Structure 1
Amino acid sequence: MIAASSLRGHLALSLIGLAIGISTMTLTGASVFYGLLLYQTQGVPPSLTEWLPDKFELVWAIAATVVSVFIAVVSAVRLAQKFLIPLGSVAANLRVVAQGDLSARAVDGLGSPLEISQLVQDFNSMAETLQRMANQRAVWNATIAHELRTPVTILQGRLQALNDGVFSASPQEFRRLLSHVEGLTQLIEDLRSVALAESSQLALGMRCVEASREISLVLESYQPRLASAGLTLETQLTEQVVECDPIRLRQVVIALLENAVQHAAPGNVRVSTVVEEGRLYRVRVEDNGPGVSEELATDIFEAFYRCTRTGASPTGGSGLGLAVVRAIVLAHGGTVICVPSSLGGAAFDLRFPLLAHESAAT
């Protein structure tokens, strides 16, 4: 049963009305045509009975109208299967998604046109993306709670012990507490950077700087940290003016060096820069192993993703360092990838765009 108030019902009624109208116009036109034909051949105007159809013609007209209505209904059903069923499925599932059920998926009709099928596919892709984002948000919330709870619990325990007199309020104890606070502050700042980048609101203080000088400042201050981890620093820096946020540039270099401290085996860490194609400034940080498998080369830039390098034991860290690196580089309009290093480990390639006049002059 087709409801008259539905789109399918309107389509059926429109086709039925069209069929009846065509049949009526055909019958009327035939009567007028034959009447005029009789008038021209006989020279006498036809009588009223000659204008009107006889019983046979009337039965034929009624039968033709019934057949036309039947064809119209069949056509309406077929059109509904091709057009209205998938459109109705999209509309119904939109309401389901609006109510919070992101598992809803639309169903394509049998033999639907390409545009209708594409609409159904786009809706299902959108629903899948929303569901994946909702799942990721739930994982994020749980992971953030875990990451924040650990340092806060440690601080709470140490402060409670100081209050109870278990530990003495020595400078060493305060330095230990301060280190936990600094770690917690860094974690919060990393979370903030990733969240702002994902919403395209990460603020950058863009200005023209000598990039190699900014990187050298980081390397000088971080060299003792690398040495304590058994890493020897090698540098191959190319002087180049780059339009970037120098604070964020130093932040990504620190994050990559800390990643090497956490994951690389004792050996060499090489930091190099070079101008590519006259328009890109590449910063590479690489170590001598163990490397990152090709399957994980993209996943490691996801927030809270922790992987064990080939042949390495699990290490600490919040899992945000490389996510922050990617967020900052993308905010600059650049790219970041992880590839095998000539040293035998992993190489992180960061590419920043140069100034327009620098690219033209090169």
Structure 2
Amino acid sequence: MQMRLRTRLSLAYALLAVFLVVLISVLTNVFLEKQFKEYIVRQQEARNIEIVSMLSRQYDQGENRWNNSTVQNIGVSALEQGLIVKVMNPDGSTVWDAVVHNNGLCTQMIDHMAHNMTSRYPDFEGAYEVQTYPLMQDGVPIGTVDIGYYGPFYFTDNDLAFINTLNQLLAGAGLIALLLALLLGSVTAKRLSRPISKAVEIAKEIGHGHYDSRILDTSNTLEINKLTSTINELAEGLANQEKLRKRLTVDIAHELRTPLTTLQSHMEAMIDGIWQADRSRLESCHEEILRINRMVGDLEKLARYESEDLVLYKEEFDLQELTGYLLKNFEADFRNKNIAVTLQGEQALIVADRDKISQVIVNLLSNAIKYTSAEGAVAITITCEQDQIRLNVRDNGIGIAPKDLPHIFERFYRADRSRTRNTGGAGVGLAIVKAIVTAHGGTVRASSTDEEGTVFTVTLPAP
């Protein structure tokens, strides 16, 4: 897997590098060649103007004649630059003509320039062009000059050598860039593939049940770090779920063992004739059966509340009024333990399933009674905020240990201190609370100080 991923990443970087190098090289070549063409055209015009200027100074108006030797030198020099010059008087008579001077050289030069252009541009449509310029001296016309060349532009041997050298440099730079890109791509692919491959290996180990596996390596890539942290969190969550599953097995076995053992011993004693099947012993067996039935009922209720098909029969009602009504059902329980209970808050209208919200309040009140010592206190507060209704149930009971607090809403989770016949229950009450509140789009949380008390906060959306 690692080699395959690394190879794919390297190939991807290589293809990207080739594409970018080729694209940059082509665009650079096109841009530079366009600029060079424009430069050649400007240079051609500048040479023409320079020749016109030099020729204009070769006429002596006082003696009404040309400096023929200098004119010839200018014409020959221009011919060497690929320009065919013809100087004429105002009456049209010829002063000097490069074709007359050396017709063979002119023809050879034109053919050579045409060959240079067609060798570089096979479809180049060029031809011999002539531009005529007036010759002036002190504002007085002294003649004209025809300057012929291969147009609209042409490349000399030096120009072609420059272009070829430039292309070779671009090709070399592109090759070097390609090699560097391949090297960089290989290194980057290795750096990316290694943590990904490690994540795949750890994910496989987690899939096989090794929930203690973790990715300890870090990366400079933010996305890779997010991936590894997500996998580590997944492993942590699965490990916690595995612990809860094992604890569930122990809890259910613990809860079932006592009533079943009692039933078995009583039944065997009555079957063997050691005990008589009188009313008191049958009532004792019936009580144990009821305990088992209550636990099964709690499990069924939790399964129903956590079901995706849970149906909520919503209506508008006053949460403060409902809480006060339910408190009356617990008056005897609070009185038996001499627990002081208070309800504070104003009218709080919500739209929810009245029966299920009642179950939430009943579970929280039952929980407070169980874990609040005699002479303790329970305070219930209802507050209305801008977009939510908040229900707080505070007690000053035994509290919840920090190690247990994150798990108290898990199904069947109970702190060790609560595993007594006095508190009882299957450990699903708070799980039911969470399921109902979540189904209503609300939240529930708990804060506690060990041996000082606990606060449960239920937040429901306001209508």
- Which TM class, normalised by the smaller chain length? 0.5 to 0.7
Q: Would you say the 8 A contact 2:6–2:190 is kept in 1? A: no
2:252 matched residue in structure 1: 144
SS of 1:231's partner is coil
Residue of 183, 188, 192 corresponding to 1:79: 188
1:276 CA drift (Å): 3.2
1:193-244 Cα deviation digits (max 9, x unpaired): 445555666554444456566556654554444455x335645477856544
Is 1:167 aligned to 2:168, yes or no?
Answer: no
Moved more, 188-197 or 152-161: 188-197
- Aligned partner of 1:259: which letter? N
Listed as ranges, the matches of 1:190-205 within 5 Å are 190-195=298-303, 197=305, 203-205=311-313
Q: What RMSD in Å do the two structures reach over aligned CA positions? A: 5.1
Q: Amino acid of the residue matched to residue 453 of structure 2?
A: A
Alpha-carbon separation, structure 2, partners of 1:71 and 1:46 = 39
Look up the SS of the partner of 2:266 in the other structure: helix
Q: Secondary structure at the match of 1:265?
A: coil
Q: Percent identity?
A: 21
2:296 corresponds to:
188
How far, CA to CA, are the matches of 2:321 and 2:406 in structure 1? Answer: 29
Distance 1:94 1:293 in 2: 33
Asked if structure 2 preserves the Cα contact closer than 8 Å seen for 1:272 and 1:284, the reply is yes
Indicate which of 266, 275, 279 corresponds to 2:374: 266
Whether 1:70 and 2:179 are equivalent positions in the alignment is yes
Question: Which blocks of at least 5 consecutive residues in structure 2 are unaligned?
Answer: 45-80, 83-109, 121-156
Contact 2:25 2:171 in 1 (8 A): no
The number of aligned residues is 347
Contact preservation (8 Å) 2:404, 2:415 = no
Give the deviation of 1:127 after TM superposition: 3.9
Number of the residue aligned with 1:8: 9
Unpaired segments of 5 or more residues in structure 1? 357-362
Q: What do the CA deviations read for 1:112-138 (whole angstroms, capped 9, x no partner)?
A: 2x3443344334433433343334333
Q: Specify which of 237, 246, 256 is matched with residue 129 of structure 1.
A: 237
Distance (whole Å) between structure 1 residues aligned to residue 455 and residue 413 of structure 2: 18
Residues 57, 336 of structure 1: alpha-carbon distance in 2 compared, 3 angstrom cutoff: closer
Output the CA distance in 1 between the equivalents of 2:435 and 2:278. Answer: 40
Does the C-alpha gap of structure 1 residues 176 and 255 become closer, same or farther in structure 2, counting only changes over 3 Å? farther
* Equivalence for 2:220: 111
1:291-315: CA deviation from partner (whole Å, max 9, x where unpaired): 5567766554444222549xxx996
Deviates more, 1:100-109 or 1:316-325: 100-109
TM-score using structure 1 length:
0.67
CA deviations 1:109-168 (Å, max 9, x no partner) are 7532x3443344334433433343334333333433333333333333333333333332
Counterpart CA distance in 2 for 1:26 and 1:77 is 26
**CA distance in structure 2 between the partners assigned to 1:296 and 1:26 by the alignment:** 67
Shift of 1:7: 0.8
Q: SS state of the match for residue 168, structure 1? A: coil
SS of the residue 2:446 aligns to: strand
Report the secondary structure of 1:6's partner residue.
Answer: helix
Give matches, 1:45-56, under 5 Å: 45-46=114-115
Q: Is the 8 A contact 1:102 1:128 kept in 2?
A: yes
Q: Secondary structure at the match of 2:393?
A: strand
What is the DSSP-based 3-state SS (H/G/I as helix, E as strand, rest coil) of the residue aligned with 1:80?
helix
User: What SS is found at the alignment partner of 1:267?
Assistant: coil
Once residues 184 and 134 of structure 1 are traced to their aligned partners in structure 2, the CA distance between those partners, rounded to angstroms, is 25
Q: State the alpha-carbon separation in 2 of the partners of residues 305 and 138 from structure 1.
A: 13
Q: Select 2:395's aligned residue among 286, 293, 296.
A: 286
Q: Relative to 1, partners in 2 of residues 1:336 and 1:62: Cα closer, same or farther, differing over 3 Å? A: closer
SS at match of 1:122: helix
Task: Write the distance in 2 (CA, Å) between the matches of 1:90 and 1:78.
Answer: 19
Q: For residue 176 of structure 1, report the CA deviation from its aligned partner.
A: 1.9
Whether the aligned pair in 1 keeps the contact of 2:219 and 2:225 (CA below 8 Å) is: no
Q: Distance in 1 between matches of 2:167 and 2:379?
A: 95
Larger relative strand fraction: 2
SS for the counterpart of 1:304 is coil
Query: For the Cα contact (< 8 Å) 1:339–1:346, is it kept in 2?
Result: yes
Which residue number in structure 1 is paired with residue 266 of structure 2?
A: 158
Structure 1 stretch displaced more, 95-104 or 257-266: 95-104
Q: Distance in 2 between matches of 1:5 and 1:272?
A: 61
Which amino acid in structure 2 is aligned with residue 140 of structure 1? Answer: L
Structure 2 contact 389–461 (Cα < 8 Å) conserved: yes
Aligned partners of 1:205 and 1:244 also within 8 Å: yes
Q: 1:276 aligns with which of 364, 384, 387?
A: 384
Per-residue CA deviation, residues 304-352 of structure 1 (Å, 9 max, x unaligned), is 222549xxx9964244444434444444425353567xxx963544546
- Taking structure 2 as the reference length, the TM-score comes to 0.55
Q: Secondary structure at the match of 2:265?
A: helix
